Amino acid sequence: MTNETLKINKKSWDQAAERFYGRNPLPEYGPLAPTEDDLHLFGDVRSLKMLEIGCGSGHSLKYLDQRGAGEIWGLDLSSKQIESAKALLVNSSSPVMLFESPMEQNPGIPADYFDVVFSIYAIGWTTNLDKTLKNVHHYLKSGGVFIFSWEHPMYNRIKAENGALIMDKSYHEEGAYQHIAWNQPAIMQQYKLSTYINLLIENGFAIEKVIEDVSLTEEDIQRHANKWYSYEKTKAIPAAVIIKCRKL
C-alpha cells in the first residue's frame, strides 16, 4: 500500500500545487498558529546548512535565504512543487539543492551534514513516520536541530457543528486516512501526539519544545478562515502542533 499511497499523493499534489503556491510558509508554521516572529525557534540562520522536508513551492527556503542561510536544500514528492521551487529560488544568494522524492526515501542527501532540518505542515504526508525520522536523524550533524509543524492530532478528530464541538473519531485510532477537505484523493497519516514524541525519542532526538498555542488575531482569522480551519473550532482546539528537538 505504501507505493500506491505515494502514487496517489503525488498525483494529488501535482494537481493541487497551484492552489497551495506560497501558502503558510515560514515565518508561518500553519493556519492559526504562532509564527517564527513569535517563537524564534530557528534563531540566527546565517551560514547554516538547512534542509526542508516537503519543501513545496520553496517559499520557506526563500525566507531562510533572505536571512543569510549558508545552503538551502529541499525535497518534495511533487514534480510540480519542485518546478515551482526551482523557479522561485533561481536567484538565491545561497546554494540551492532540490530533490523530487518521497520523504521516506533518501535521494542522495548527505549524512551528518545539516545544521537544521525542518518541515512546515508536511510531516503528516509520510507513509512511514519512523523511517522519515530516521532519515532526518541521518541527515543532521550531531547537535543539529529538527523543527516541524503539522495539524494538531486532535483537530480532525473533532468537528464543529451547529455551535457545538463533536468528537467523531477516536483519538486512539492511528494510521492512514483520506482527508475529506481535499478535492482529489489524498491519503494522510493520523498519529497521537505521544507517537510523535516517542518516535523522536526512540530515533535519538532530545525534545526541546512542544508548542500547541494558537494565534487568533483578526488578520489570522480572515486569512485562514475556511470550512476546515475556523475561529470557533480553533479557540477550543489547537490547529497545529510545533516541535523543536535536537540530534543527540
What's the CATH code of the domain at 176? 3.40.50.150
- Is residue 27 domain-resident? no
pLDDT at 243: 98
Q: What is the DSSP string of 139-186?
A: HEEEEEEEEEEEE-TTGGGEEEETTEEEE-S-TT--EEEE-TT-SS--
- Is residue 25 domain-resident? no
Other C-beta atoms closer than 10 Å to the C-beta of 222 total 9
Domain carrying residue 204: 2-20+33-157+171-247
Q: Are 98 and 85 in contact (CB under 8 A)?
A: yes
Integer-rounded Cα Rg, in Å, for the chain is 17
pLDDT at 226: 66
CA atoms within 13 A on the CB side of 55: 31
Q: Are 134 and 109 in contact (CB under 8 A)?
A: no
CA distance 162 to 153: 22
CA distance 206 to 73: 23
CA distance 9 to 12: 5
- Is residue 207 domain-resident? yes
- Is residue 165 domain-resident? no
Per residue in 3-53, pLDDT (tens digit) is: 899 999 999 999 988 888 888 899 999 999 999 999 999 999 999 999 999
- Is residue 28 domain-resident? no
Structural domains counted in the chain? 1
- Is residue 8 domain-resident? yes
pLDDT at 23: 82
Q: Are 129 and 146 in contact (CB under 8 A)?
A: no
Question: Under DSSP, is residue 14 helix (H, G, I), strand (E, B) or coil?
Answer: helix
- Is residue 163 domain-resident? no
Which segments of 102-213 does DSSP mark as H helices, in order?
129-139, 193-202
pLDDT at 231: 84
pLDDT at 160: 85
CA atoms within 13 A on the CB side of 120: 30
Tens of pLDDT, residue by residue, the chain (248 residues): 688 999 999 999 999 888 888 888 999 999 999 999 999 999 999 999 999 999 999 999 999 999 999 999 999 999 999 999 999 999 999 999 999 999 999 999 999 999 999 999 999 999 999 999 999 999 999 999 999 999 999 998 998 888 899 998 999 999 999 887 787 889 999 999 999 999 999 999 999 999 999 998 887 777 766 667 888 889 899 999 999 999 99
Nine cell digits for residue 120: 512546515
CA distance 3 to 9: 10
- Is residue 226 domain-resident? yes
Nine cell digits for residue 201: 525519542
Question: Under DSSP, is residue 106 helix (H, G, I), strand (E, B) or coil?
Answer: coil
Nine cell digits for residue 35: 509564527
Q: Are 235 and 214 in contact (CB under 8 A)?
A: yes
pLDDT at 183: 77
